[in-house]
Amino acid sequence: MKRSFLTAFFCLAFVLPTFGWDDVGHKITGYIAWQRLSPQARDNVIRILREAPEDSQLATFYMAYGPQSEAMKRLEFFMFVPTWADVVRDREFNTRYRKYHKSNWHYDDTFWRQVDGRVQELTGFEEGGQAVPRMKEFDAVIRNASASEEDKAIAIAWILHLGGDIHQPLHTSARVTETEPKGDQGGNLFHLTPQGTRRPDQVNLHWFWDSIVGRNIPFRDGMCERHYIEAAAKSMMKKHPFAVLQGKVNPGKYEDWRRESFAYNNSVVFSPDLKRGQMPTVQYKKRAFKLAEQQLALAGYRLGETLNAVFDASDAANTTIGYR
């Protein structure tokens, strides 16, 4: 049977490996959140997501996963949803881009500087992102019985994306130095390559953290993307089980999540062994990936439990160890 070009394109796109916190990282948090969702919450969330506005093209992706079990289709669709807010950055889809792309929603920065190894927060700078206020707004939407399912679908997608974003410490940070007096834009201005490096070859600290999963967990030839994501997520869940992190989950406490993530900038991200113009040391890389694994697991747990609290308020949803 001849498949449509759209379906063929989507199936191809989701098999090819693409690495980075913006893709693999978000899909890992989606996978982990799905494990936390109760059956009732899963049903409600998928039903609502399939009611997304047509011009968002969000619901279209449900049909992109071809002939497989309904359970796997639901899982892969849910894993994709946290990446939607990045997908809409594509200017080639002009209507979707103009309506849904919001560049300053993806981060929520504290301006700060390091003074004798401590954090000194700074004021008087321009707005540093809106991730937390937007998450609070979208949280109100999904809890509002009068809100349309179209609005709730977009709200769920943004919560899943922004909730992942703020667990990447540099999405909460604008570090001020003599070199970056207006802030370093989440490490984008902190170069790990020597001064004078050609622009196409430059590497910055934000890239280092965004791409950390793919550099530490290689994608093997012939591996299905879902199997790669599943294996990585299960490894992180084993190292950082829900039972251990449960006391830190705090569903819906978005500002608390952000502040916790921000604190890692002084202790782990900008540790004394990080040098401008030099690639990180082996020890730094190990510490960074260890933190990234914890943050991805915690983000997944928090997002899953936040959706459970809204879409399944039963005692079972609050006490479950996880579903497959």
DSSP letters, 97-166, are HHHH--GGGS--PEEEEEETTEEEE--SPPP---HHHHHHHHHHHHH-TTS-HHHHHHHHHHHHHHHHHT
* Residue tagged 């910055």 (tokens): 204
pLDDT, the chain, mean? 90
122 domain residue, yes or no: yes
216 and 289 Cβ atoms separated by less than 8 Å: yes
Query: How large is the average pLDDT for residues 275-301?
Result: 98
Which residue range(s) make up the domain with 169? 5-313
What's the pTM value of the predicted model, to 2 decimals?
0.90
pLDDT in tens, 42-57: 999 999 999 999 999 9
323 domain residue, yes or no: no
**Is residue 61 packed enough to be buried (19+ CB in 10 Å), middle (13-18) or exposed (0-12)?**
buried
Name the pLDDT band for 234 (thresholds 50, 70, 90).
very high
Name the pLDDT band for 11 (thresholds 50, 70, 90).
very low
The Cα–Cα gap between 204 and 118 comes to 23
Structural domain tally of the chain?
1
Name the pLDDT band for 223 (thresholds 50, 70, 90).
confident
212 domain residue, yes or no: yes
Check pLDDT > 80 for residue 119: yes
For residue 139, the domain's CATH number is 1.10.575.10
Check pLDDT > 80 for residue 317: no
Query: How large is the average pLDDT for residues 135-158?
Result: 98
320 domain residue, yes or no: no
Between 316 and 288, where is the model more confident? 288
Name the pLDDT band for 324 (thresholds 50, 70, 90).
very low
321 domain residue, yes or no: no
29 domain residue, yes or no: yes
pLDDT in tens, 70-109: 999 999 999 999 999 999 999 999 999 999 999 999 999 9
33 and 167 Cβ atoms separated by less than 8 Å: no
324 domain residue, yes or no: no
318 domain residue, yes or no: no
The token duo for 217 is: 């967990």
Question: What was the pLDDT predicted at 126?
Answer: 84
Type of residue found at 304: G
